[in-house]
Chains A and B, each alone.
Chain A
Amino acid sequence: EIVLTQSPATLSLSPGERATLSCRASQSVSSFFAWYQQRPGQAPRLLIYDVSNRATGIPARFSGSGSGTDFTLTISSLEPEDFAVYYCHHRTRWPYTFGQGTKLEIK
């Protein structure tokens, strides 16, 4: 099983600031990598798929990058609705797994 490790566990920032979230895989996941956002009390939603492709309706301030085992989600300028938990995810082979999550909180 491929283990995904996210850092930091919690990130405290203010609206308007830039957020950088990281995810490291225990082995290469090629480009089969995604990011999901979960707001409090809601189901997760797809943000980024295949490393760098924004899902339908996702604002341009969200971007993804990386390759192999190291990936980054960047939010260029935080909006109030961006404070949530973010999960990375691989779909290289079964079992697909998620990272443990990074909580982005308001400073």
Chain B
Amino acid sequence: EVQLLESGGALVQPGGSLRLSCEASGFTFSSYAMGWVRQAPEKGLEWVSVISGRSDIKFDAESVKGRFTISRDTIRNTLYLQMDSLRAEDTAVYYCVKDSRGGITGTISHWGQGTLVTVSS
């Protein structure tokens, strides 16, 4: 059974940093692209970043470019999102998502339960 377990969400001040983690199990981690999708309170869904199975291709949303960095550790079967220069508008539940293939297809076959990031002074 595929499981995606996010952690690292917290309350942080504007301008601060946070690192989210997503521990994956139940599938061959290195064989699938992975990503982060966020949902602001009472709002819709927004892709944040995505990374291919081999880490050779990455895409970031314009809203986070230069501030967020996606990465993955195939030894630890863990996906990361390093979030710097956080802004109030980054407040959201961040979902770890698994693509349906190794290359980036954008079809999300599985979602984690999410971790809440709140940016506020």
Contact status A91-B109, CB under 8 Å: no
Bound Cα distance from A34 to B108, whole angstroms: 9
Interface size for A (C-beta < 8 A) is 23
Contact of B61 (CB < 8 Å), options: A36, A43, A95: A95
State whether the Cβ of B62 lies closer than 8 Å to any Cβ in chain A. Answer: yes
Closest chain-B Cβ to A59's Cβ sits at a distance in Å of 18
* B97-120 interface bits toward A, Cβ cutoff 8 Å, 1 = contact, 0 = none: 000100001111101111000000
In the complex, the answer to whether B107 meets A43 with C-beta atoms within 8 Å is: no
A44 within 8 A of B: yes
Q: Is B45 an interface position by the 8 A CB rule? A: yes
> What's the nearest-Cβ distance from chain A to residue B55, in Å?
16
Residues 41-80 of A contacting B (Cβ, < 8 Å): 42-46, 49-50, 55
CB of B59 within 8 A of CB of A94, answer yes
CB atoms of B44 and A36 under 8 A apart: no
Is A83 engaged at the interface, CB distance under 8 Å to the other chain? no
B62 touches A95 (CB 8 A): yes
Check A100 against B106 for contact (C-beta < 8 Å). Answer: no
B: residues with CB less than 8 A from A are: 44-47, 50, 59, 61-62, 95, 100, 105-109, 111-114
Chain A residues within 8 Å of B, Cβ to Cβ: 32, 34, 36, 42-46, 49-50, 55, 87, 89-91, 94-101
